[in-house]
């Protein structure tokens, strides 16, 4: 597999496609919402296609990095979709965070048309995407994964095969659920600290050298205290969407998730107050407004 299609060249997809080019793959990309990333990729040697159908005509495999299952299905099965021209054995890899039940319904439809399917969602943020060190959680046939392993390895250093189609997306939702719920706990802790009269800078120093320190805390607390919500690692609206999908999948399986459902409501409060377009750390803004405070400070690393 040397000619790779890519649709969804956003904050994650553009650096992923860039790494494919750097590793010697020929990339045919299609603008989904924004043309600027396509122009930047073309400057590095990528080719442009005007439709998913054209992408499939010119490539052996296509990676999709799209926001929802609905958009994935439209790109594959809609007018001028990938399915109209994909060859037998053509591989479609859904690398976004799609809804697992939708994935399990869509994958057989791709196979019925002669294609092969992988759900291969990613974790590692824009920094990991740029460095090519993403974690990739795969669902689909093991033989398909092996055919595409060098393609995925150009974008990520840790590749896990979780079994049949849909399992990769479920693994991604579980990983996201842990991270998102963790950030809501940090939001609650920081607002409680300030409302109780504690110095947030000292709280940051203390937690940083305690058993409660974590990468999530080191990511969120400085951003909150610096009020840096415009620098987006993961958009709040997308975090809410992913947590909503995880809890919905759990409901379909009759699995209770009381903490995750509560965290989802905190994200909904922030969205209702107009912060959905910001970084997910802006989840704290809803609580701050309710309590009439702001968590501000100069978070210096602990000595």
Catalytically annotated residue among 36, 53, 87, 172:
172
Residue of 95, 84, 92 whose CA lies nearest to 124? 95
DSSP 226: T
CB atoms within 10 A of CB 171: 22
Structure tokens at 96: 């976004």
CATH fold label, 3-164: Rossmann fold (3.40.50)
- Verify whether residue 23 is a known catalytic residue: no
- Per-domain residue ranges of the chain: 3-164, 170-291
Q: String of b and e for 261-299 (b: at least 16 CB within 10 Å)?
A: eebbebbbebbeeebbebbbbbbbbbbbeeeeebbebeb
pLDDT along the chain (303 residues), means of 10: 94 96 97 88 96 97 96 97 96 97 97 97 94 98 97 98 98 97 98 97 96 96 97 94 95 95 97 97 97 95 79
| Cβ(186)–Cβ(217) below 8 Å | yes
d(CA 182, CA 259): 10
* Of 265, 187, 200, nearest in space to 229 by CA: 187
* Paired strand residues for 135: 123, 158
pTM above 0.85, yes or no: yes
* pLDDT at position 35: 86
CA 246/CA 242 separation, integer angstroms: 6
Mark 57-96 as b/e (b = at least 16 C-beta within 10 Å). bebbbbbbbbbbbebbbebbbeeebbbbbbeeebbbbbbb
CA 83 to CA 57: how far, in whole Å?
10
The pLDDT value recorded for residue 288 is: 97
DSSP structural state of residue 302: P
- Classify domain 170-291 at the CATH class level: mainly alpha
Q: Give residue for tokens 């979709």.
A: 81
**Alpha carbon of 76 to those of 10, 51, 54, 67, 93: distances in Å?**
19, 11, 12, 14, 11
Determine the pLDDT at residue 303.
74
């Amino acid at each position: 597999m040397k000619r790779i299609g890519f649709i969804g060249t956003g904050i994650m997809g553009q650096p992923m496609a860039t790494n494919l080019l750097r590793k010697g793959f020929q990339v045919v990309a299609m603008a989904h919402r924004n043309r600027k990333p396509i122009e930047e990729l073309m400057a590095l040697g990528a080719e442009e296609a005007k439709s998913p159908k054209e992408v499939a005509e010119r490539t052996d495999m296509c990676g999709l990095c799209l926001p929802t299952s609905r958009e994935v299905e439209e790109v594959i099965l809609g007018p001028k979709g990938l399915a109209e021209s994909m060859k037998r054995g053509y591989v479609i890899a859904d690398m976004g965070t799609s809804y697992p039940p939708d994935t399990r319904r869509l994958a057989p439809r791709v196979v019925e048309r002669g294609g092969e399917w992988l759900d291969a969602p990613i974790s590692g943020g824009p920094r990991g995407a740029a460095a090519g060190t993403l974690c990739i959680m795969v669902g689909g046939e093991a033989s398909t994964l092996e055919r595409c392993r060098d393609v995925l390895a150009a974008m990520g250093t840790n590749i896990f095969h979780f079994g049949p189609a849909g399992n990769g997306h479920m693994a991604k939702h579980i990983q996201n659920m842990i991270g998102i719920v963790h950030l809501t706990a940090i939001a609650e802790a920081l607002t409680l600290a300030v409302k109780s009269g504690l110095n947030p800078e000292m709280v940051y120093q203390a937690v940083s050298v305690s058993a409660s320190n974590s990468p999530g805390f080191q990511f969120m607390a400085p951003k909150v205290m610096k009020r840096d919500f415009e620098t987006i690692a993961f958009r709040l609206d997308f975090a809410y969407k992913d947590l909503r999908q995880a809890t919905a999948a759990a409901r379909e399986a009759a699995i209770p998730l009381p903490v995750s459902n509560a965290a989802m409501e905190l994200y909904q409060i922030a969205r209702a107050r107009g912060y959905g377009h910001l970084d997910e750390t802006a989840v704290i803004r809803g609580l701050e407004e309710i309590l009439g405070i702001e968590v501000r400070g100069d978070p210096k690393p602990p000595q």
